[in-house]
Amino acid sequence: MTPPAAMSDLPQVRLVREARVRDLLPDGGPHRLEASGVLTVGRRFYVIFDNLRAVAMIDQDLDRTEDNALVPTGSEDRQAYEDIAADPAGGHLYLLIEAARHRDGYQARVEEYDMQLRCVSAGWLEFPLPGLNKGMEGLACVRRDGVPYLLGLCEGNLAEDGAAGRRPGGGRVVVFRRSRRNWKHEATIDLPRTLPFIDYSGLSVEGDRIAVISQESSALWLGRFVPGTWQLAGTGCDYAFPRTTRGDIVYPTMEGVCLLPPHTLVVVSDRAKAGAPRPGPGKEESLHIFALPPGAPGTDPPPVGTA
């Protein structure tokens, strides 16, 4: 798969290790595990899937241990998940449903779970979406002055579908604040217009750092917030996931990301779509740990207002 021209000269992250999710779980589980989101909890990764209502708990060393497990989260006749987030104050997890029909349009939905994976509430993210298949792809939970906010990443540029959604320069992260029943639209964060991503597939926030990945562009953007605000400090840094020596894409199905301080991140990959080029062995339905290039910009806090 040939990358867009704008991606070809980006510095690349370095693979540390990777493993198929299925190989890390007990025998007898589902054959297809289309990973779509990942979170770190203690010494384990929590992984969710867009074809399965369950959470996988996997050792962070990507070893197959007796503690690894796949835990169902309720009725299989409901929609599966696009991402997972945790309240940084502890205690609750949020599982994102990309989009569902609501009133006369579409909105994303969030299910809230305790740490024993018991559902305690569910609510809508009150922001209009273009359809069932172009909704919220990433989720993060951030606290400001003790108040929890959910950040949702729109899949398409300008939160649109079709040609407009594929035109780079319109990345959107939508901020929500809890209301009595649902999550109200509080603010919208415009990603840098220079960001050359065709789509957006994963979101992570760690402290004031923010990471966004693109599946089609097979790339990563790292930025920072001005502390205590939703304002971005400069334009951040772009990185490519590993390419071949010709510059061709090796990882075409990247779906979810979680920052691991100080200089690494974990990414999960989906199953390749029907008719698309097949990734190599271990490059789909897998967990991948990457390191940023040594001394790469963005690994240390930049001065506020600078790239």
Kindly report, residue by residue over 216-270, the tens digit of the pLDDT.
Answer: 999 999 999 999 999 999 999 999 999 999 999 999 999 999 999 889 999 999 9
Q: Where residue 1 falls among pLDDT bands split at 50, 70, 90?
A: very low
Residue 302 counted as domain residue: no
Average confidence (pLDDT) over 176-187: 96
Mean pLDDT of the chain: 91
Q: Indicate if the pLDDT at residue 2 is higher than 60.
A: no
Q: What are phi and psi of 172, to 5 degrees?
A: -135, 135
Q: Indicate if the pLDDT at residue 295 is higher than 70.
A: no
Residue 202 counted as domain residue: yes
Of 11-25, 37-51, 184-198, 284-298, the poorest mean pLDDT is in 284-298
On whether the pTM is more than 0.75, the answer is yes
Residue 305 counted as domain residue: no
Average confidence (pLDDT) over 110-122: 95
- Half-sphere exposure of 197 toward its Cβ, with a 13 Å CA cutoff? 30
How much is the pLDDT for 35?
Answer: 98
Residue 299 counted as domain residue: no
Residue 209 counted as domain residue: yes
Average confidence (pLDDT) over 284-301: 77
- CATH code for the domain in which residue 172 is found: 2.115.10.20
Q: How far apart are CA 66 and CA 146, in angstroms?
A: 37
**How many independent structural domains does the chain possess?**
1
Domain that holds residue 227: 5-273+281-291
Q: How many C-beta neighbours within 10 Å does residue 87 have?
A: 15
Q: Are 226 and 232 in contact (CB under 8 A)?
A: yes
